[in-house]
């Protein structure tokens, strides 16, 4: 087996479950040393115990000093940083715009948009030394508007990540840092479980994707692996929809 990330060091936010966990799994299998981070310490440690070459560092993505600590502890332990995967995110209660409180709006943006900013800010000085890679995990909700979706703060945060990917790709191309973005459709994770409670819900969501089903976390992880490995060595600023064709409708 060719280890596509042999010797690489990666930080994956939101790494304790779902897409983040599967990404950590596929990274470690491909030779990377991985740091997973989230605010739930117990969940994080449980996840790390299931993986190889992976350590947990608990932190609150909304607190700058804790984000800085994660990056510094990673470099202190492994001597460098090659990959940042901005995966952590939250999904708000479904409400129309006029029903959303300012507190709810700001909370979503603070995690989904300011969080990646914080991690990128503290990671880039180390990524400049390794010609590293950043992957932003956005959403197809950041690519187009969906009738009846009613999650404006989420869509706004994910759309901002799309354009930030392009901005960072241009800004740091001179440092040979590649920055790319993955936009999943509906994926079978803890975050989407509330919308898949019944067989009817599941069938509706499956049928809403042209390919006929929702995605699995490992399918997104494989796309992240591609964009961090040398298989995509000439790719930066790319926005990859991994959504069963949903965004094409």
Q: Would you say 83 and 5 are in contact if contact means Cβ atoms under 8 Å apart?
A: yes
The phi and psi torsions of 64 (rounded to 5 degrees) equal -55, -45
Hey, how many other C-beta atoms are within 10 angstroms of the C-beta on 14? 27
The phi and psi torsions of 203 (rounded to 5 degrees) equal -65, -40
The phi and psi torsions of 189 (rounded to 5 degrees) equal -135, 175
Place of tokens 């779902």: 18
- In the beta sheet, which residues pair with residue 86? 136
**Residue 44 token pair:** 């994080």
Q: At 69, which helix (H) or strand (E)?
A: helix 64-78
The phi and psi torsions of 232 (rounded to 5 degrees) equal -120, 35
126 classed as catalytic: no
The phi and psi torsions of 112 (rounded to 5 degrees) equal -75, -25
Candidates 126, 146, 154, 172; catalytic one: 154
103 CB-side CA count, 13 A = 0
Q: Could you say which DSSP state residue 147 is in?
A: T
Could you tell me the maximum CA-CA distance found in the chain, to the nearest angstrom? 53
In order of 161, 185, 222, the CA distances from 248 in angstroms are 19, 11, 21
Hey, which residues are catalytic here? 154
């Amino acid at each position: 087996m060719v280890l596509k990330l042999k010797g690489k060091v990666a930080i994956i936010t939101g790494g304790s479950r779902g897409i983040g966990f599967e990404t950590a799994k596929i990274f470690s299998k491909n030779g990377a040393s991985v740091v997973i981070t989230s605010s739930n310490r117990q969940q994080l440690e449980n996840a790390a115990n299931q993986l190889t070459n992976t350590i947990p560092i608990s932190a609150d993505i909304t607190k700058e000093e804790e984000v800085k600590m994660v990056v510094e502890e990673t470099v202190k332990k492994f001597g460098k940083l090659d990959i940042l995967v901005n995966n952590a995110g939250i999904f708000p209660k479904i409400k129309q715009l006029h029903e959303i409180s300012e507190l709810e709006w700001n909370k979503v943006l603070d995690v989904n948009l300011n969080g990646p900013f914080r991690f990128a800010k503290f990671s880039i000085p180390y990524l400049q030394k390794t010609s590293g890679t950043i992957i932003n995990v956005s959403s197809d909700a950041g690519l187009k508007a969906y009738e009846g979706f009613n999650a404006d703060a989420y869509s706004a945060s994910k759309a901002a990540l799309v354009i930030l990917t392009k901005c960072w790709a241009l800004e740091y191309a001179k440092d040979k840092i590649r920055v790319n973005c993955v936009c999943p459709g509906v994926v079978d994770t803890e975050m989407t479980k509330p919308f898949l409670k019944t067989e009817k819900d599941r069938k509706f969501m499956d049928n809403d994707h042209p390919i006929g089903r929702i995605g699995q976390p490992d399918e997104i992880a494989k796309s992240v692996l591609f964009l961090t490995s040398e298989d995509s060595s000439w790719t930066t600023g790319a926005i990859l929809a991994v959504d069963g064709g949903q965004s094409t409708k």
